[in-house]
């Protein structure tokens, strides 16, 4: 769908923020398929990805003072995974506003919707700076605790990979192997490889074996679904 212009007032009703600099808004919702004569959202997506990660890290740190680094990392991963962000973009109804010339197959849609949402975060940050961006974005996540709980249940990578492998290869056995330990004793980093029989499925690292295993499982899921051209 192509658009000549995007109204800040229309978007404000959807995302709760009115842009002062309309150019940032237009770029944030312009897909690269629109051509070299139009700046696309790619650079803003890069910025927005970092801003979103930062503001969620801060919010999680403040909300959950007794949780470990590993738990906080897992929470942030659940709230920034591509599938969740794509769903959030659709919930905010920004998808019809994305300027795009290419015909997109279903496997690409989630990625585009995720990218546009991250680009909007980057654009809001540049238009207003960090404090305002955080306030706006966190409203998208409300009710925060309920969303987090739901996503944690949906994004249990170890359980999901186990279920998937059982369906594909009922007799197969998953094996998490410690392949490296680095850092000082108080800042230990563990690296784990996940094997199914003799096949390497994924590798993950973390400050605990539990976190490393979860990250290895998540990597394995990404690899498997990419091969099958499915969505996580």
| Residue 202 sits in the same domain as residue 224 | yes
Range of the domain at 191: 157-228
175 is catalytic: no
Contacts of 214 (CB under 8 A, 6+ apart): 74, 157, 158, 204, 206
| Residue 77 sits in the same domain as residue 139 | yes
Most trustworthy range by pLDDT among 66-75, 94-103, 141-150, 211-220: 141-150
| Residue 83 sits in the same domain as residue 59 | yes
In whole angstroms, give the CA distance from residue 173 to residue 51: 39
In whole angstroms, give the CA distance from residue 190 to residue 138: 32
99 touches 4 (CB < 8 A): no
| Residue 179 sits in the same domain as residue 125 | no
The span from the first CA to the last CA of the chain, in angstroms, equals 25
CATH code, 180: 3.30.160.20
Catalytic member of 45, 59, 118, 151: 118
CATH code, 79: 1.10.1520.10
Tell me: pLDDT of 8 over 90. Answer: no
| Residue 26 sits in the same domain as residue 140 | yes
Binned at pLDDT 50, 70 and 90, residue 111 comes out as confident
Q: Give the end of a domain, one of 127, 154, 181.
A: 154
Neighbours of 108 (CB within 10 A): 13
Catalytic member of 45, 49, 114, 213: 49
- What is the pTM (predicted TM-score) of this model? 0.68
* Structural domain total, the chain: 2
The pLDDT of residue 226 is: 65
| Residue 166 sits in the same domain as residue 115 | no
| Residue 94 sits in the same domain as residue 206 | no
151 is catalytic: no
Residue 34 corresponds to which tokens in the numbers above?
A: 């629109």
Quickly list H helices, the chain. 8-15, 22-28, 42-63, 69-80, 82-91, 106-128, 130-140, 144-154, 157-168, 209-228
| Residue 30 sits in the same domain as residue 134 | yes
Q: Give a yes or no: residue 1 inside a domain.
A: no
Selection from 30, 41, 44 nearest residue 99 by Cα: 30
Least confident segment among 26-30, 106-110, 148-152, 160-164:
106-110
More confident call, 159 vs 14: 14
Q: What three-state secondary structure class fits 200?
A: strand
Q: What does the pLDDT look like over 191-231, one tens digit per residue?
A: 999 999 889 999 988 878 888 898 898 888 777 766 654 44
172 touches 159 (CB < 8 A): no
Q: Give a yes or no: residue 2 inside a domain.
A: no
């Amino acid at each position: 769908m192509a658009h000549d212009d995007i109204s800040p007032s229309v978007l404000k009703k959807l995302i709760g923020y009115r842009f002062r600099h309309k150019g940032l808004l237009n770029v944030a919702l312009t897909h690269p398929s629109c051509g070299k004569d139009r700046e696309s959202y790619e650079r803003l997506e890069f910025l927005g990805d970092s801003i979103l990660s930062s503001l969620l890290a801060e919010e999680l740190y403040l909300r959950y003072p007794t949780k470990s680094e590993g738990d906080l990392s897992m929470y942030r991963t659940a709230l920034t995974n591509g599938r969740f962000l794509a769903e959030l973009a659709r919930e905010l109804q920004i998808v019809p506003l994305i300027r795009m010339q290419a015909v997109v197959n279903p496997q690409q849609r989630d990625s585009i919707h995720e990218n546009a949402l991250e680009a909007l975060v980057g654009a809001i940050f540049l238009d207003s700076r960090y404090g305002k961006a955080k306030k706006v974005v966190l409203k998208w996540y409300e009710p925060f605790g309920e969303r987090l709980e739901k996503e944690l249940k949906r994004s249990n990578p170890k359980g999901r990979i186990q279920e998937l492998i059982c369906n594909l290869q009922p007799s197969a056995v998953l094996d998490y192997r410690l392949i490296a330990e680095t850092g000082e004793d108080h800042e230990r980093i563990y690296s784990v490889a996940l094997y199914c029989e003799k096949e390497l499925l994924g590798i993950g690292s973390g400050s605990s074996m539990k976190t490393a295993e979860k990250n290895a499982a998540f990597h394995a899921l990404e690899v498997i679904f990419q091969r099958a051209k499915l969505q996580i």
